Structure 1
Amino acid sequence: MTKTLNRRVLVVDDEPDIRELLELTLIKMGLEVVTAASVGDACRQLSRQPFDLALTDMRLPDGEGLAVVEHIGQAGLDVPVAVITAYGSADNAVAAMKAGAFDYLQKPVSLAQLRTLVQSALALEGRTAGGAVDGTVRLAGESPAMQEVRRLIERLARTQAAVYIHGESGTGKEQAARLIHEQGPRAARPFVPVNCGAIPENLMESEFFGHRKGAFTGADNERDGFFQQANGGTLFLDEVADLPLAMQVKLLRAIQEKRVRKLGGGPEEAVDVRLLCATHHDLAALVDSGAFRQDLYYRLNVIQLTMPPLRELREDIPLFVGRLLERLAGDGARPRLSPDAVKALLGYNYPGNFRELENILERAAALASDGRVDVADLQLSDAACSEGGAEPPVAGGGEGLQEYLDRVERDAIVKALQATRFNRTQAAKLLGVSFRSLRYRLERLGIK
């Protein structure tokens, strides 16, 4: 690491030998170090001067290191904080990450892991919310739900906590994981996606941890596993619920120890990976049924990110459709939607979410006659079309998709406001949306 002046680290530990060891290591990295021996002393130091990083032991004479983490969050200090926990103290590590800790180290502290953690933490400074990729490119949409997803992703990118991304199939879980990686300090390192449901059970250990030459029939060369490939970066476990119980045990140990051993023997290797996982299953229900280990669940589900289904983002459908049609058109003419096709797309429930919308438009563009997409070209499933309610007005000649949707939405909002004598709280309840969502719509549509 290049030595940098004026980078200040707070080290909190009641054991003088540990404080001295950490201080000497950090000074050799070119950092200024301030030490504290208690929670109270740490809080006083934080109020006196700015810090770029804080390292705190979990057990202190006047409380827990968790109190230092909480103090930093409550005071609104932009200071990454890592906790040092006793060996095997998984509950403390998880509690610290939930409280906002950047990462954790286990005793006895590995100086190599300490240096890696410090480099990752200090790499956060100066990163913009967009990171390496503009978040609106991958997860477009201006609905309140999608804005909240992007805000949470920005916060998650600034921590090393494990994230469990939950959502129906096709809601963009891998896109969210990639964005968390690209907006964080590991952006320049590998992002390794793994579909856990696509790996044969007898090959799982080799795929995850690698193997030595001759470890099994066909192992002609030594090979790195997913953990080694993602070292320094992010490992994304998609469909993690499909892992068999035997592999769950081995995965848990790798996460806790931050070390793996290749199949076929040899020394353990230290690995530094940020772990993200996703599934469309209910992991908590699988834990209750015994199909998923509870201890692994708590390790993976430090923070949860839920991806909303497309049927809850109807105001964003015009934007999604427009971008998809532009992409499908390439350098050619963009397909045009008939008024009935627009109406059908807005009334569809999309059980397959974004992936289904993309398939629908790609198929329709191929079937369209003279670049005009009609309802028949969409080939929508009758079972997934909205039922009941008043028919929305049909788009007029030359009216675009966004104009049509705005007109329908404005009419429904005005009627709800009139019915409630312009009580916005009651109007939101009548429309089945949150007050915040209604306020956003009022501003966007210019309704006074």
Structure 2
Amino acid sequence: MNLKTISRRTILRGMGVTIGLPMLQSMMPGRLLTAAEADKDAPLRMAFFYVPNGAHMPDWTPKGDGTGYNMSASLQHIAEYRDQFNVLSGLTLDGARAHGDGGGDHARSVAAFLTGAHPHKTNGADIRNGISVDQATAQAVGDRTRFASLELGLESSAQAGNCDSGYSCAYASNMSWRGPTSPMAKEVDPGALFDRLFAGQTEKQTRRAKTAREKSKKSILDFALDDAKRLHQQLPAMDKRKLDEYLYAVRDVEKRISGADHLRIGEDGVPDYPRPSGVPADLSTHSQLMMDMIRLAMQTDSTRILSFMFTNAGSNRNYKQIGVNEGHHELSHHGKSEHKQAQIAKINRYHLDRFAYLLKQLSSVREGERTLLENSLIVYGSGISDGDRHNHDNLPIILAGSGAGRIKTGRHIRYENGTPLCNLYLWMMQQMGAKADQFGDSNGVVTI
């Protein structure tokens, strides 16, 4: 059966709105492909998720190695996806160590997490770090997508101020660095991210489209409806279903961003409420919306590279929603207190619950025989191991996704303690197609 081939970069347009599409059968050249053949055309994605203040390592570290390891209490919260990730022990972030600079481990751990560099200690304008792995990769292959990379989080970035023992807030609140003096600020507003992805490719177009939607009270999809209908008529049945499912997901996220699920709906199906801006006050709602946006960004191939910070370095946020009333940073200095260690374990599990939601979303998207999750390499972890000791060896690291079949998942891999974390990053860069034989303090590549 011959098919009309459409471009992988096809987008739906309408009044300043641009909506990327998921990978469809019709984007394959000329004929219906088998799922195995379609797999070869699926892009590989790279992502990095950072949690602050280390982990309660006795609650985190699995017992045993390989596929037969015993999952720890913390990791039980992502146990449903056990066969979709590897737990990596022994990796080390030497750049986060003091090296004579005294205190400031929290700021250093974030600044070094993706760079492997030792940041210059200053709270002034003379910041100096290294380029981060996401940006180094984006400079090599980022031109293949609308956005070379996305930098996201739940707490805003700062570019100045003293945040940790003489270290600039630029270090404490940014883990993505375009160059030694150029931190990449995070987007924390899910509505602004939605507009950036779907409401136009320029800031002017985005503002115009947003204003038009607010005045008309229409969904972003309504502006591109004619284009969507024309495309729908050209597609085979399997692609029509996939397109319908995707457009439903976009509208669902848009409704939840605007709070439309809790509002009075008019006879025309449009919420009788202006689209609000700002960050949701509830952390769980905020994180879930951001995870949904990550799925859509990756599903539409809007970007293949992204970073995400749950909170900034040394965050002292409490987690009353799970019964933790004390601040996270204060608890991390537990001094072997059983109570504080139990509370830290609760926070670790909460973050993993948020991550599990993302894994669920990515594993629900099919791309040939594999899923969006399987076609990814996703690092989750921290630049500090035990928050009380402020050590930067034997870090709590997870690598989710099989890299489009490049690695075997479902294992606990124990590297020699002191193995540079950048050895993992160098391997990932090479899988993404970036030509590199050195990154940060790497001294080789990991065996996975």
TM-score range, shorter chain: under 0.3
Structure index of larger Rg:
1
TM-score, with normalisation over the residues of structure 2?
0.22
